[in-house]
Amino acid sequence: MPFIWSAISAHGYGHAAQIIPVLNALGRRRPGMRVILRTNVPRAFFADRLTVEWELSPCQQDIGCIQQGPITMDWPATWQAHRAFHATWDRRLGEEIAAIGQARADLVIGNIPYLAMAAGAEAGRPTVALASLSWDDVLREHLSPSEPWQRPLIEQIGQAYAQATLLLRIAPGLSMRAFPTATDISPIAAPLSPERTRLRELLQIKPQDTLILIAFGGIRLESLPFAQMESMAGLQFLIAGPVPPGFSRIHSIAAIPLPFSTLLSSVDAVMTKPGYGTIIESVAVNTPVVYVRRYSFADEQPIVEYLHRYGRGVELARKDFEQAQWEAALHKALALPRPVHQPPEAEGAIEAANILESFLPISAG
């Protein structure tokens, strides 16, 4: 039976969200396929999403970025964390090579740890990157002329990526020129059908009220302006964390027995940052988006452009977000007409599975 080594960045949940539909699609083509998830993404994230046989092997695969909440990037801390990670590079690489060899993996798939790309190649396994961004591209925008050690570090990341057999470049995304061989694939999304009536019944909200999902990804907001949200007439809110007592217009996702993708297709609008998964899926199900930009993350611009071309989006200034001046942007987004351009089919997972199957041993059947 095929055995996949799947290395996943734990910077938020977006990298895991991209790779899960691919593994599921590949598993449908190759029944009995097994997967090792080499990542620090929590087990619970995969439990209700991944349909193939899998086991979790916790291990730090890369740094990603250090953030203070979902929209504040800490670039000095990010650089120092990378410097510490690379100080132990030889040991980490040796351990990954040995682990891949011991597991007898048929294929290494990474989204998007460069450690896995180097280790898979050194272990003699076909090694495929599946991603819409790479960490060398992200870091390159934040090089400091006063820190000469940063450029060689980026070069080392690029050299590790260059050892990959292939990059499956998910649209929309960055150029990722470090990879010598790349194949473009369609967007990846796994939308679910709406359950608007059931969701409103579960929340016990008025039919005429507008329901807004606050979803800033795997790095949760530390605080929300609950009092101001409660005062927004005609609006109800779904949030990821707990709701303090006394608020009737704010509800916790934890109390709703529906998958996140069902919520995304069942609400009237979503407020978020321009992260890949939420934006691509919102476009796929035509949910209006109010977004708060970071303006310091490399893949944000192509995602925003995709939203405005194929979906319905309104930017909310960071200051207005922090001061709870939300209503004008929300009502503007809700009033937007359907987009003129039809979005591309989000068939990237199927396209990727078709390509990845060619790297697996021929089935005995």
Write the pLDDT tens digit of every residue in 148-174. Answer: 999 999 999 999 999 999 999 999 999
Please identify, in words, the CATH class of the domain defined by 196-335: alpha beta
Nearest alpha-carbon partner for 190 in 16, 11, 1 = 16
Q: What is d(CA 257, CA 292) in angstroms, rounded to the nearest whole number? A: 28
Half-sphere exposure for 51 (CA within 13 Å, toward CB): 11
Strands (DSSP E) contained in 273-319 are: 289-291, 313-315
Contact 154, 138 (CB under 8 A): no
What is the identity of the amino acid at 101? Answer: G
Asked if residues 207 and 301 have their Cβ atoms less than 8 Å apart, the reply is: no
271 in helix, strand or coil?
A: strand
Measure the CA–CA gap between 273 and 84, rounded to whole angstroms.
Answer: 29
Question: What per-residue confidence (pLDDT) applies to 177?
Answer: 97
Percent of the chain whose pLDDT exceeds 90: 93
Residue 108: pLDDT band by 50, 70, 90 thresholds?
Answer: very high
For residues 249, 255, 259, 260, the Cα torsion angle rounded to the nearest 10 degrees is 40
pLDDT band at 100 (very low <50, low <70, confident <90, very high): very high
Asked whether the beta carbons of 193 and 153 are under 8 A apart, the reply is: no
Q: Please, what is the average pLDDT of the chain?
A: 95
Residues 2-22 have a mean pLDDT of: 95
Superfamily name and number for 3-188+347-357: Glycogen Phosphorylase B; (3.40.50.2000)
Q: What is the pLDDT of residues 176-226, one digit of tens each?
A: 999 999 999 999 998 999 999 999 999 999 889 999 999 998 777 778 999
Task: Determine the pLDDT at residue 97.
Answer: 98
Q: What is the mean pLDDT of residues 111-124?
A: 98
233-284 per-position pLDDT tens digit: 999 999 998 999 999 999 999 989 999 999 999 999 999 999 999 999 999 9
Specify the residue for token string 């046989």.
53
- Res. 117: pLDDT tops 90: yes
Mean pLDDT of all residues in 69-92: 96
User: Tens digit of pLDDT for each residue in 62-79?
Assistant: 999 999 988 999 999 999
Residues of the chain within CATH 3.40.50.2000 domain(s) are 3-188+347-357, 196-335
- Residue-wise pLDDT tens digits, 311-337: 999 999 999 999 999 999 999 999 999
What end-to-end distance do the CA atoms of the chain give, in Å? 11
